[in-house]
Amino acid sequence: MRIAFPLISAEDWTGGHNYLLSLITALVTQYPEKVTPIIFYGQDIAIEETYSFACLPRVELVNSSAFNRNRRLYSLAVSVTLGADFSIKKLMQQHRIDIIFEVAQFFGVRIGIPAIAWMPDFQHRHIPKFFSKFAKLKREIGFLAQINAGRTLLLSSKDACSDCERFYPATKGKTHIVQFAVPPPLPMSFDVARGIADSYGLPKNFFYLPNQFSIHKNHQLVANAIKIIRNQGGRLVVAASGSTLDHRDLNNYTNLCNQIKTLDIQENFRFLGFIPYQHVSALMQVSDALINPSLFEGWSTTVEEARALGVPLILSDLAIHREQVGEIAHFFDRWSADSLAETLTKFRSIHYTERERKKNDATADSERRFSEFAEKFMKVTEACYREVVA
């Protein structure tokens, strides 16, 4: 089965990029003779963004201006009004595509190929203040177009499924839940991981926050919590890494940096920049805990990666976080810096030997969930294909 996957740029959305990489890795690992992923990407995407996919077996890469970023609004408009983006339809036919994986794009009811629409989350409904009127309208048009076109709808959680059926009642009974999982982590010794942390000048004890610097990721709350702890005489270090680009608020990262300076906590809140994935994994392993203070999530990639490594978790009190990890995490009120400060102050590090035991158990569990991820996705894909082709 030849499945088309439009590339999600890590620059635009790191979590989405990693989701796509994990999904395709799961498919070619679990179904090596059954699936051929075809990655379509625009000519305005850096070639480096394709390397991780090109290394995977059976993956084919297609570079075309039809998938350029600056063409997406036009593509949506013609797909809605004319029934298809015919440039993309022709390209799909040339590459003998059996099924399309749509995310944040709609290729039209007349595309002529079965399609699965992945709806990651509905944050524009929950936190509309972070979206412009145009951005909200564009998301609504895209979702409604996919629903009305009879797409097979894929959700990553029960929480997102509940939202989908509540906001769009016509989808009731037509959704499929496939919970996201990451590949089992590659072996890395504590000494090697610690050496990577040393290269960033990080102390023995630190908390790690590897989220993209988007406004809803709530870094500002962490800064305020650190200041509260400092005022109480406490000391701690939070290291933050990730892309600094936020299309919804281009000043978000700059404003955060200014906040850190104003609070005079530069030594406590360390910015590491956009770092290699292997370094992210290493810092997770030697950190005291991973922090995710987000105001909204679909199914957190960073939480999933930390979970696969047995890393302690300090998470905002989102329903999706509780669905994702159960009660193994330390939860705090996502709107309260005092709540986070109290949680960080009370947190106690786990001894190295206990961490290693948890890591081994978590890796075994990760293997199981990763296999289930591929299996459930294939069931949805095959059902979608049979329904349309039949």
**Cα gap 21→312, rounded to integer Å:** 24
The model's confidence at residue 389, banded by pLDDT at 50, 70 and 90, is low
pLDDT tens readout for residues 280-323: 999 999 999 999 999 999 899 999 999 999 999 999 999 999 99
- Alpha helical stretches, state H, 31-122: 51-54, 72-81, 86-94
Q: How many C-beta atoms surround the C-beta of residue 250 within 10 A?
A: 10
> Where are the chain's structural domains?
2-181+368-389, 190-366
For 190-366, CATH gives 3.40.50.2000
For 2-181+368-389, CATH gives 3.40.50.2000
The model carries a pTM of 0.88
Among 5-14, 101-110, 266-275, the range with the most confident prediction by mean pLDDT is 266-275
With a cut of 70, say whether residue 50 has pLDDT above it.
Answer: yes
Average pLDDT score, the chain: 93
Does the fold of domain 190-366 match that of domain 2-181+368-389? Answer: yes
Residue 129 three-state SS:
helix
Phi-psi category of 313—alpha, beta or left, where left has phi over 0 and alpha has psi -120 to 50?
A: beta
pLDDT tens readout for residues 223-265: 999 999 999 999 999 999 999 988 888 899 999 999 999 999 9
pLDDT tens readout for residues 331-366: 999 999 999 999 999 999 988 788 888 888 898 899
Closest CA to 302 of 9, 11, 19: 19
Closest CA to 5 of 80, 48, 70, 56: 56
